[in-house]
Chain A
């Protein structure tokens, strides 16, 4: 698990890139993403103004999208055992303290088939 992966492990769909572009323009500054886990809105990526969430030694940087970093907790990353993440948007308001991805839109991560390596015993 490296903090500076050779290839970014996060990419974004055109809809997500467009949403980030709108956020950057509206806010006049970058945002950051942190993958959540657990109850209620767990499994959802949370979007905050850059620097709002204090990143710790146990967080892994998966890459950046248009200058906006995407982090996941290292233990959660191991549990998810997913090589690549794809950021996308979906209908419905954002949850937790997350910024929305637009009017009645929120960010999600996709787990396309093939991105989760087969389980090894």
Chain B
């Protein structure tokens, strides 16, 4: 629900306006109120309000204040302006690029808090907003969460406008649309929805806009807030919106006909809709030669079942179906397990838990020490556990192989979902063996078949692979670029051909 506040109009008395602002923004010492007497005869009283640290003071004083104080001629202005004094001042005496009239006190407060400078003029019932946002920001650097082997090394930063610029630089098309909105009753975070007019699916766009409009939250501190609030199914372990720190990935999503959501103060933009195959792809897939990309994709799809099922298979085969193994291997497994005090499922669960602990610790420890901890921790714990007779060498191999396989999944949040599911499969294997794994797979398939991302089936194009056969050229394999001229059919874009 949107709040319905009564908005107060700007008074013609400058002192009153400043007093009201001081009342609203009391106990905020970083807000600067500067009174000016402008014009050749210092006849016009004005007040400038801005936040110290969020405003580019130099540009305001150079392109507005100096001119107002020194050159403003009230008589000349009154001759031309009739009633709209502030309009005439804005037109003739301020050379700041973006200037807007402000009618209400609440609007002026919002602009001030957003880093703009607001100019109040005595006797005028309108104020002027001078665009002056300027704060210390991180430069455009290589994204730390998405490694770049080949391709542009610029990454998004925390300033939304910079992020939009990085995308605009890649798509110089008038049909690239950007719609602004603010979300968060307290944070009033700027959000930008980007799409290419003749490519986007209207239904998806409407769904995105509707869900964003329905958000009722105090603050949006990261784009993940938005992601969680607008995704189709919160209970699903699988992400339904893709995120990236790479402008080339965002531009590619726009060209496919998807919607990109940029959130201020966040270096991660969201891309919707996102389906299963999107999480298995990386930008490099399109930058490398198509045959190598094909091989890499196939490896990822081989890694996928290993990531989910290998520990569960180990548990099922050793506990329920040892007859599946060749006799020599079955005897070796039985011999190595003879001295281990734990059942196979506990062994697998324990080792998976250790791997997760090491992984989490490695992320939290800054710099190269983190990866060293991971490596040393894995080696030492694995070796010591085998020597102590707590686990079998085969279990170490299985868990290590699973961990390595999970690293091949390009999307971090998708990989995390798979890791979570792995534990469920270990439980099913421990209770029902291969039957449990098969039942688990059935449940997984059902879940994925019910899942949608903004109305698009999550398992597209596999879920209708005959109708969407053109899309199969960019799934498990990546066909030659000149064969990828069709926009994804599952997106039902307006314009079918592209690239």
Q: Do A and B bind each other?
A: no
Residues of A near any B CB (own CB < 8 A): none
